[in-house]
Structure formats: C-alpha cells, structure tokens
Amino acid sequence: MPMTHAERMRRYRCRIAEDPDRRSQYLAKQRMRYHARKASGKVKTVDQMTDREHRKAKKYWRAVKAQQRKAKKSQSVVTPPPSPTPIAEHAIRPGSSRASREKNRKKMKKVIDNLADKLEKERKRSQKYKKRWLRATGTSETPRRKTKKFLRSATGHQVQRKLLLHNVLLEQLKSKYIMSKHESKKREFQRLFTGSLIKKYKLKRKFCDMVGLPHLKRTCEDDTRKPMNRKKYNCKKVRVVEKVHQFYLRDDNSRMTAGKKETKTFRKMKKQRRFLTDSIRNLHEKYLIEHPKISYSLFAQLRPFWVVQATEQDRQTCLCRTHENFQFILKKLHSLKAIKSASCETVVKEAACDIAWRVTVNYCNAVDMNTWYTFKGRENWLKMDFESLFDAPKMILMPGPHKEYHR
C-alpha cells in the first residue's frame, strides 16, 4: 500500500532531525521564510492584530506550549537521568554547624528587632491618632473647664447668682446632714459627697468643712461600691442555724461514717457523711422539747448537707423478713388507718407500759392477757391481707390502752 503525503513528510522530518547539518540548514531556511512572510505582511505581529485575533493566537500558543511540555515530560521519563559527577574529597570543605546556627540566630534576631521597632512605631502612631480623635469628638466638659469658660464671659450679676446658688446648696446640705437622726442616712451623705470627683480636684477636706462632714480616712470612691457601714450581723438567725446544726451533729441524733469514700461534697466543701438515727419528723419533735419553737420545714431546710438518711445500701445491717416484719406490720396498719403512727417507738409507748420503769416490767396489773380486741366484719379480710404480704405474728398490738388483736 503506497504511503500518504503526511507519512512521507514525517519520515523526511525524521531524517532531517537525525542529521545535525541538515537540521541547521532547515532551521535557517525556515527563519528566512518567516522573515520574508513577515515583511510581505502575510504574518501579523501582536501590535497589528485585533483583539479577537490576539485572543485566538494566544489560545493556539498555549495549546502548542502544552503539547511541547507533555512531550518533554514523556521524554524525561523514558530517558534515565545522567550519572552524577564524582566530586573529589578535597573539594568539600567541612563547615561548623555551631557557627552556622549562631549566624542564623543573629540574622533572625536582627529581623525580629527590626519588626519589633516597626510594630512599636505603628502602635504609637495609632495611639496618637486615637487620642486626637477623642479630643476632637469629646463634648463633655470638666468642672475646671466649665469654670474657666464661665469666668471669661460672665458678668457681675451672673457671678453673684452663681455664688448665691453655691451657698444655698451648701447650707441646705449641712442642715439635712445635721437633721438626719439615723447613722445610715449620714453614711449615705458621706458616700455621696466624698467621691472620686471631689478627691480628684482635692476639695475633699474643704467640702467636709463647709458641709460639716467628718474627715473620713476611708470613703467610697463611687456610688457603685458597697456602703461603708458594716453589714449588720443577724445574731438571732445565726444562733438558730448553729443550734440546729449542733443538734443534727450530736451523736444521739446522727452517727459518723468511717469509710474513706463515704464523703459528700457541696460547693467545693467536702465533709464526712453522717447518718440520721431517726426520721426528721421525730427529730423535730425532740428538738422542740429542748429548744425554742421552730417549724418543721425550716428544721428540715437547715439540715447540714452531709447529714443524710441512711439507705438500705448504707445501713450494712440485717434487713431480712424476720427482723423487719414488725415494721412492715405497722406500716400496713397505718395505711389501713388502724393505727395513728407507723413508728415503732410511738406504738410501743402507746400500747405498753413505760419501759424505763423496770419495777413494773413484770408486775403491771393494767395488762390483762385474757382480753382481746377485734374489728367486727374485717377480721378475715385483714387476716388474708397480712398472710399474703408476710408472715405476721399471732398477736398484734393495737392503739389504745393495752389492746391486742389476735388472729
């Protein structure tokens, strides 16, 4: 199959490229041809092109350049890199790393110092213009400036009225201060008229002499600060709080825990926990016997945060069915409204004789073991309910003078 014209020209260019002499002649011929076409006007320069033609030419140049870079890159991938030229050992001069580091450090320090100087100059410059702007836009006048301005343009009558107003105000303030009966009112005057502005113009002593205020060493600088008087100590409230705390912390009302981790923290205050030995209601009744009257809500509110009720997990005691049976019975009877209280101590106190009186423990004639008390129409229901909940004893103490309920 015969070759096309393009194939023949490609082979011709390859033969020219392989021969350096022929290639140099070919390039010289092409340059002469380009200059001839340029002289005849067939090839336009950039200054002769229109905007449209210039954009089109740049687009073509970019495409040609991209193709050239691509070919060069592929050629570098195929061709291995040249071997490095060996360098003689005597040509390498060893340098000092310490000297190099010191040189770099000095160089960087110099740069930093220059930048710091520039920054300080810019800061001073900004402060200067800021101060100028504040002075130019500031409309508030100081008392000294107002006084000078008034004296420059004031007449005799205006000065007289101003002095009259000054004296009237001083007399009024002086009379108000003298007529004040309470010390708090007088301290208000002291705090109001011995502030920072009077201190700034060094008129504090003069003003105190004119109004009649005492020469105070310590005064409030402005109205936002707390008053000079010390806060009154509410002795009664503090005494009540201390008494309640001491009552809660007594060993007969609460017991101390011994565990290292049995602590409680509130507002960054860490305390060892204490467990109440009785309910808060019973402790409140006990407190009323020993101390003045206080409400139950306040008594519960003043309880220290580390004094808490012991839970089943904290008790570390036996809570089996046998030992807690009596308390369960009392709770159930209380829920059925058969007794007034679910407390063991209260029920025993109402149903039995005084246990503190040992003489009558075995010699009480008031107790009759042959008398029984029953609820009419409710005996079987109560019996079934108790048996379903727990193993109840054969005899249950009921409220009233030595009354018993027998199943």
Q: Note the pLDDT tens digit of each residue in 97-133.
A: 888 889 999 999 999 999 999 999 999 999 999 999 8
Contact present, 216 and 277 (Cβ < 8 Å): no
The residue assigned the tokens 């100028």 is 132
Rounded to 5 degrees, what angle do the CA atoms 273, 276, 278 make? 170
Asked whether residue 62 carries a pLDDT value surpassing 90, the answer given is yes
| 169-173, 344-348, 375-379: segment of lowest average pLDDT | 375-379
**If pLDDT is split at 50, 70 and 90, which confidence band does 348 have?**
confident
What percentage of residues in the chain have a pLDDT greater than 70?
A: 74
Residue 299 has pLDDT above 50, yes or no: yes
| Banded model confidence at residue 91, pLDDT cuts 50, 70, 90 | low
Q: Which long-range contacts (CB under 8 A, 24 or more apart) does 392-395 make?
A: 392/325, 392/329, 393/325, 393/326, 393/329
Query: Minimum mean pLDDT among 32-36, 75-79, 114-118: which range?
Result: 75-79
pLDDT of residue 220: 44
Strand ranges for 221-282 from DSSP E? 254-256, 263-266, 269-272, 274-276
| pLDDT at residue number 363 | 52
pLDDT value, residue 261 = 84
Task: Report pLDDT for 120.
Answer: 95
d(CA 254, CA 307): 7
Of the ranges 115-124, 189-198, 206-215, 236-245, the best mean pLDDT one:
115-124
Residue 66 confidence class, pLDDT cut points 50, 70, 90: very high
8 A C-beta contact, residue 392 and residue 386:
yes
Mean per-residue pLDDT, 265-276: 88
Q: In this predicted structure, which of 67-81, 152-166, 370-384 has the lowest mean pLDDT?
A: 370-384
Question: Which amino acid, 45?
Answer: T
- Tell me the Cα Rg of the chain: 54
pTM over 0.85, yes/no: no
The pLDDT confidence band at residue 142, using thresholds 50, 70 and 90, is confident
Q: Which of 79-83, 84-88, 348-352 has the highest mean pLDDT?
A: 348-352
Sheet strands (E) in 196-343: 254-256, 263-266, 269-272, 274-276, 307-308
From 296, 299, 256, 253, select the one nearest 278 (Cα to Cα): 253
What is the pLDDT averaged over residues 140-159?
Answer: 85
Indicate whether 359 pLDDT > 80. Answer: no
